[in-house]
Structure 1
Amino acid sequence: MLAETLPEEDLVALVGSRLCHDLISPLGAIGNGVELLTMTTGTPSPELQLIAESVAAANSRIKFFRLAFGRSGEQRIGKPEIATLMTQFSQGNRLRIDWRAEGDFARQMVKLACLAVLCLEPAMPRGGEITIDSDAPDGSGTWMIRGTTLRVKEDPSLWANLDGMQSEVSPAQVQFALLPREARAMGRTLAWDIGETSVSITY
């Protein structure tokens, strides 16, 4: 397909997929190098341990970003794979992500959930727990992504993007622009709610 015939959303997703794909290989090489050094030296030094942990964290975030920002396609993903990805993504930060939805899901639905998690993240700077659930095993029903924390950080103008009221977003906030577009493309209507200690997105 010619590039000029691709919708803007597809071009954005292709860029995301390309960046994540190209970064995974060198990170994997660094991780392999650290393992070889550890085998050579025996007990890993604090420096090697720090490098290994940093590479593992970067790998997990890139895999998560590939789902959230990359091209989704028709592939289906099972709960074990998704739950592992969510656990790895939350390691090293204050958030715990609990994927409760049962079944195999279209990659597009998992993409929406990942974008929703990224929207909840800045509202929970003190950490907390995010749960992801669906009332249908194939993901065709209603989804709820809910976060609980000690105190929610509110940003009404930013969250208004989910209602279609476009405002300027920074690179770190791009998920607020992408989530409503992806939801519309799938025929989903977003709803959100922010309280003192909880925040949720449903579609």
Structure 2
Amino acid sequence: MADLIELEANDLAAMLCSRVCHDLINPVGAVNNGLQTLADPAQASMADFAREMVANAAQQAQAKLEYARLAFGASSMAGTEFDTRECERVGQILFAIEKADLEWTLPPMFLPKNKAKMLMNMLLIASGAVPRGGKIVASISGEPGQETLTLVATSDPEKKQKTLMPMGVEEMLAGNPEEGVDARGIQHFYTGLLARMNKMDLSIKLEDSVLTFTASPKADEKA
């Protein structure tokens, strides 16, 4: 097995910032274009379209920022635990702009901050597995402190949907990609890093049109 890649803190921060900027550049650019159209008297006939574009892009930017705050940032939530109800709220905000639907079955409870952040990052990866639409079910099982988190992404071929294994995700999650880590794969790498911090193993597999993504306690950490 290849050695784990250890990133310097500044490199990790820079790549995560790059990822957030990549997610925001299109909706922010669309807001700017829409406002320019509204300010141009010569394009008065496009005003309704421009207003709709600004509204949609602003919603996308807000959703992505709020999700990034929880998945990547320290968050303004007090303490060292996250309420799963807040995780669900932010997840539903993101999926309001995604093509897939989110079914959240986790009960109200508190999770250690890094475990909750890992869950939110796993959810991003699962969303990328069904880019044309589908459904993602988030669930949890096990005793407190020994929880197993499971995400199941499914698609409907009859609706021209398809479930995909995100490119390079397994090596990035394992922390040992042959070609190193860059900003494109940093979110997958960060998810694996959070799993190791939580002393958990990640398993991701695709069978037919079903992708199952699981985080479970390492065998030597189980009671």
TM over 0.5: yes
The whole-number CA distance in structure 1 between the counterparts of 2:199 and 2:10 is 17
The whole-number CA distance in structure 1 between the counterparts of 2:58 and 2:149 is 32
Q: Structure 2 matches for 1:98-177, cutoff 5 A? A: 98-102=103-107, 103-136=109-142, 138=144, 140-150=146-156, 151-154=162-165, 157-168=168-179, 171-177=183-189
Query: 1:87 — aligned with what?
Result: 92
Normalising to structure 1: TM-score of the pair? 0.71
Question: Which of residues 45, 56, 59 is equivalent to 1:56?
Answer: 59
Q: Shift in Å at residue 61 of structure 1?
A: 0.7
Query: 2:211 — aligned with what?
Result: 199
Select the structure of larger CA radius of gyration. Answer: 2
Q: Shift in Å at residue 58 of structure 1?
A: 0.7
Q: Give yes or no for contact 1:16–1:66 (8 Å, CA) kept in 2.
A: no
SS of the residue aligned with 1:190? strand
Q: Give yes or no for contact 1:104–1:138 (8 Å, CA) kept in 2.
A: no
The whole-number CA distance in structure 2 between the counterparts of 1:126 and 1:68 is 23
Query: 1:182 — aligned with what?
Result: 194
Counterpart of 1:81, as a letter, is E
Counterpart of 2:82, as a letter, is I
The whole-number CA distance in structure 2 between the counterparts of 1:117 and 1:167 is 25
The whole-number CA distance in structure 1 between the counterparts of 2:128 and 2:182 is 12
Paired residues in the alignment total: 179
Counterpart of 1:159, as a letter, is E
Relative to structure 1, the CA distance from residue 200 to residue 89 in structure 2 (aligned partners, 3 Å threshold; closer, same or farther) is same
Alignment RMSD = 3.4
Query: 1:3 — aligned with what?
Result: none
Q: Shift in Å at residue 178 of structure 1?
A: 1.4
Higher RCO (C-alpha under 8 Å, 6+ residues apart): 2
Deviation string, structure 1 residues 174-201 (Cα, Å, up to 9, x no partner): 2221111111111111112211211121
The whole-number CA distance in structure 1 between the counterparts of 2:155 and 2:145 is 26
- Unaligned stretches of 5+ in structure 1? 1-6, 38-43
The whole-number CA distance in structure 2 between the counterparts of 1:179 and 1:46 is 38
The whole-number CA distance in structure 2 between the counterparts of 1:123 and 1:81 is 24
Query: 2:4 — aligned with what?
Result: none
Counterpart of 1:76, as a letter, is E
Q: Shift in Å at residue 91 of structure 1?
A: 1.6
Relative to structure 1, the CA distance from residue 200 to residue 107 in structure 2 (aligned partners, 3 Å threshold; closer, same or farther) is same
Relative to structure 1, the CA distance from residue 62 to residue 173 in structure 2 (aligned partners, 3 Å threshold; closer, same or farther) is same
Percentage identity across paired residues of the two chains? 19
Q: Give yes or no for contact 1:100–1:133 (8 Å, CA) kept in 2.
A: yes
The whole-number CA distance in structure 1 between the counterparts of 2:103 and 2:71 is 17
Higher share of residues assigned helix: 1
Q: Shift in Å at residue 121 of structure 1?
A: 2.7
Q: Shift in Å at residue 16 of structure 1?
A: 4.8
Counterpart of 2:197, as a letter, is A
